[in-house]
């Protein structure tokens, strides 16, 4: 299997020159969080929503983007792609045919491919025992602190009987709506005196693995109002079934339960894709 077999050939891209407002419109219209950047038809950079949040004072795309991004070629093996994605912070790689941008490949694209492969290997090899859980009545703002302090990408939500009833992840904690609101405010106002439950509280850090952003006064409402319905796998669940659940539920990580239905760990997408390295051994 090669990069061309997994990549998405319909690439949304930005061109130089451009600015922050144009990028925001693209992210919102296409529901994406990053775009490659072209100049005179050649790839010169990549810009993510994280870049916009990290560089609040910049407006020009040339200064917002990360230049000379890591790329792969259409003929590169999927094993090479997996090695790069599983050993770096990157979650996407532009795909080139010589110097022409012809596609993009993400961790999610590879998980989707694994879901189609009917791999019966048990997922237990890719389970991490470290998972953070909170009670369903815990205020969302406290959950945000718990995730920051533990550097967690996902948090299980338990009821009073210790049963897993929901999941809260970074996509909930830092929703696109919140990020867009913050970025728009940053463009039009240097400060705000409002103090409603979504107001920006002096740029305090809420650092989680994928969104290292300075955000927000999160609501005090219980986390159960914001959580996704609980889904999970068992250690003996097959790799492909696990991948299908992650794709269906739009999860980068999924909890694992033991035979007593207690939370026992978590499967992360970047660990899951390593199965493609193992099956080649």
The widest CA-to-CA distance across the chain, in whole angstroms, is 60
pLDDT of the residue at 151? 82
DSSP state of 108: H
* pLDDT above 60 (res 212): no
pLDDT of the residue at 198? 35
**8-41 burial by CB neighbour count: b if 16+ within 10 A, else e?**
eeebeebeeebbbeebbebbeeeeebbbbbbeee
Q: Which helix (H) or strand (E) segment is 173 a member of?
A: helix 170-173
pLDDT of the residue at 148? 80
Specify whether the CB–CB gap between 39 and 6 falls below 8 A: no
Q: How confident is the model at residue 217 (pLDDT cuts 50, 70, 90)?
A: low
pTM equals 0.78
Report the interhelical angle of 107-115 vs 239-248 (nearest 10°): 130
More confidently predicted of 253 and 81: 81
Query: Residues of the chain with pLDDT > 70: what percent?
Result: 84
Closest of 204, 205, 202, 206 to residue 191, by C-alpha: 202
Residue-range domain boundaries for the chain: 3-115, 123-278
Pick the CATH number of 123-278 from 3.40.50.720, 3.40.50.300, 1.10.630.10, 3.10.580.10: 3.10.580.10
* pLDDT above 60 (res 188): no
* pLDDT above 80 (res 179): no
The mean of the pLDDT values for the chain is 84
* pLDDT above 50 (res 181): yes
Q: In the predicted model, what is the mean pLDDT of residues 7-19?
A: 94
Contacts of 75 by beta carbon, 8 Å cutoff, 6+ apart: 2, 3, 4
Q: How confident is the model at residue 116 (pLDDT cuts 50, 70, 90)?
A: very high
Q: How confident is the model at residue 223 (pLDDT cuts 50, 70, 90)?
A: very high
* pLDDT above 80 (res 203): no
Q: In the predicted model, what is the mean pLDDT of residues 162-172?
A: 86
pLDDT of the residue at 192? 41
pLDDT of the residue at 94? 96
Q: Tokens 């048990």 belong to which residue?
A: 122
Q: In the predicted model, what is the mean pLDDT of residues 194-205?
A: 36
Q: How confident is the model at residue 174 (pLDDT cuts 50, 70, 90)?
A: low
pLDDT of the residue at 152? 84
Encode 210-243 in three state secondary structure: CCEEEECCCCCCEHHHCCEECCCECCCCEHHHHH
Specify whether the CB–CB gap between 129 and 137 falls below 8 A: no
pLDDT of the residue at 207? 35
Q: Do domains 3-115 and 123-278 have the same CATH topology?
A: yes
Q: Just give the CATH number of 3-115.
A: 3.10.580.10
* pLDDT above 80 (res 107): yes
More confidently predicted of 103 and 170: 103
- Scanning 97-139, the segments in alpha helix (DSSP H) are 107-115
**Across 96-105, 146-155, 165-174, 247-256, least confident range:** 165-174
**Across 68-72, 105-109, 139-143, least confident range:** 139-143
Q: How confident is the model at residue 183 (pLDDT cuts 50, 70, 90)?
A: low
């Amino acid at each position: 299997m090669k990069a061309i077999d997994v990549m998405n050939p319909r690439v949304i891209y930005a061109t130089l020159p451009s600015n922050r407002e144009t990028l925001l419109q693209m992210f919102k219209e296409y529901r994406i969080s990053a775009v490659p950047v072209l100049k005179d038809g050649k790839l010169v950079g990549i810009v993510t929503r994280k870049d916009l949040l990290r560089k609040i004072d910049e407006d020009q795309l040339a200064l917002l983007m990360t230049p000379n991004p890591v790329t792969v070629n259409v003929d590169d093996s999927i094993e090479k792609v997996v090695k790069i994605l599983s050993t770096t912070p990157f979650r996407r790689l532009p795909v080139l045919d010589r110097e022409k941008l012809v596609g993009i490949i993400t961790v999610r694209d590879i998980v989707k491919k694994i879901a189609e492969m009917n791999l019966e290997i048990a997922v237990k090899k890719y389970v991490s025992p470290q998972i953070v859980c909170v009670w369903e009545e815990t205020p969302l703002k406290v959950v945000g602190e718990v995730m920051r302090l533990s550097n967690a990408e996902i948090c299980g939500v338990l009821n009073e009987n210790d049963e897993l009833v929901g999941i809260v992840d970074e996509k909930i904690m830092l929703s696109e709506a919140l990020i867009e609101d913050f970025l728009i405010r940053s463009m039009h106002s240097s400060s705000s005196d409002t103090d409603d439950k979504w107001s920006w509280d002096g740029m305090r850090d809420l650092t989680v693995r994928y969104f290292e952003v300075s955000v927000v006064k999160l609501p005090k409402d219980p986390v159960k109002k914001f959580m996704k319905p609980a889904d999970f796998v068992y250690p003996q669940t097959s790799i492909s079934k696990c991948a299908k659940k992650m794709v269906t539920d739009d999860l980068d990580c999924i909890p694992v339960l033991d035979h007593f239905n207690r939370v026992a760990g978590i499967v992360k997408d970047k660990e899951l894709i390593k199965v493609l390295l193992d099956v080649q051994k």
